[in-house]
């Protein structure tokens, strides 16, 4: 297996619930970091599956039902990884006064009232934004949506410390994540967005994504002492929903 293909497999198997290969070794920290450059491509594949499902469902169901089923498909394909991160992050923010307290709350497998409410609101916003999209934009928006969310995790993780001193799931990714990995992911995403929403929209979406993802990283560092896998999942959700809400405006830029 070539290095590039291996990196993609690592990224795919970490971000999704669909196994690609049974024959792979346990990745080292530098290989995990390298796989993050492929996150937007994983998102593009997920977006293609979502767009294909939406096309087929449109023959049988209304836009509202098809949109709900597409959202369920994406959650199923990713085993709710990012939704779980959003809920845990919100619970941590609501349940602790110090970074250590907040991190302890985040590790509690039970979901709290704030986490459940935030998750519900995020799903409603995602559904409403998808239903409201102009019909001509649905394919391009669905293709771009998972790609920009996964790229935002790479952007948010760059040059950021891990919050827990004892380490955790996201710690190996941060250890060797370099500017070249981030640049590669950004260039790939820019190409996807250029195809989907045009040059001006792509530039605006990338610029907005950089500002929001980095602002969230500063926020996480202040309140948690760094980032975790959960906070990166929350970043993915914030960026995806923001993109869906702004997509008609971005596509209409001259």
Summarised one tens digit per residue, pLDDT across range 62-92 is 999 999 999 999 999 999 999 999 999 999 9
pLDDT score recorded for residue 11? 87
Helix (H) or strand (E) holding 231: helix 229-251
* Most trustworthy range by pLDDT among 20-29, 96-105, 122-131: 122-131
Report if residue 15 sits inside a domain. Answer: no
CA distance 249 to 203: 13
Domain count, the chain: 1
Report if residue 4 sits inside a domain. Answer: no
Tell me which residue of 46, 234, 251 sits closest to 135, measured CA to CA. 251
pLDDT band at 172 (very low <50, low <70, confident <90, very high): confident
Domain that holds residue 135: 35-251
Report if residue 172 sits inside a domain. Answer: yes
- Torsions phi, psi for 169 (to 5 deg): -60, -40
- Residue 30 has a CB neighbour count (10 Å cut-off) of 13
Tell me which residue of 162, 158, 126 sits closest to 247, measured CA to CA. 126
Structure tokens at 49: 């599956």
Report if residue 8 sits inside a domain. Answer: no
Report if residue 21 sits inside a domain. Answer: no
HSE of 160 in the Cβ direction (CA atoms, 13 Å)? 32
Helix, strand, or coil here: 97?
coil
Report if residue 27 sits inside a domain. Answer: no
- Torsions phi, psi for 206 (to 5 deg): -65, -45
pLDDT score recorded for residue 156? 95
Report if residue 167 sits inside a domain. Answer: yes
Total residue length of the chain = 254
Verdict on whether the full-model pTM lies above 0.75: yes
Report if residue 211 sits inside a domain. Answer: yes
pLDDT score recorded for residue 21? 67
Helix (H) or strand (E) holding 167: none
pLDDT band at 25 (very low <50, low <70, confident <90, very high): low
pLDDT score recorded for residue 24? 60
Structure tokens at 103: 């991190």
């Amino acid at each position: 297996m070539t290095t590039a293909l291996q990196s993609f497999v690592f990224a795919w198997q970490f971000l999704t619930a669909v196994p690609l290969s049974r024959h792979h070794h346990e990745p080292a920290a530098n290989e995990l970091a390298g796989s993050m450059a492929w996150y937007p491509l994983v998102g593009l594949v997920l977006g293609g599956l979502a767009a294909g499902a939406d096309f087929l469902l449109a023959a049988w169901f209304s836009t509202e039902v098809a949109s709900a089923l597409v959202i369920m498909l994406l959650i199923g394909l990713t085993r709710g990884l990012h939704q779980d991160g959003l809920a845990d992050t919100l619970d941590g923010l609501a349940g602790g006064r110090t970074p250590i307290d907040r991190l302890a709350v985040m590790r509690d497998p039970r979901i709290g009232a704030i986490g459940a409410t935030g998750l519900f609101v995020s799903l409603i916003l995602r559904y409403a934004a998808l239903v409201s999209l102009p019909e001509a934009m649905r394919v391009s928006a669905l293709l771009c949506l998972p790609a920009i969310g996964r790229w935002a995790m790479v952007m948010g993780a760059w040059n950021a410390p891990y919050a827990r001193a004892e380490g955790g799931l996201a710690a190996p990714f941060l250890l060797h994540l370099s500017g070249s990995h981030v640049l590669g992911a950004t260039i790939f995403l820019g190409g996807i967005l250029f195809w989907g929403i045009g040059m001006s929209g792509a530039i605006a979406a990338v610029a907005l994504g950089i500002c929001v993802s980095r602002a969230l990283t500063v926020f996480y560092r202040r309140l948690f002492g760094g980032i975790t896998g959960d906070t990166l999942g929350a970043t993915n959700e914030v960026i995806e929903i923001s993109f869906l809400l702004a997509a008609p405006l971005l596509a209409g830029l001259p």
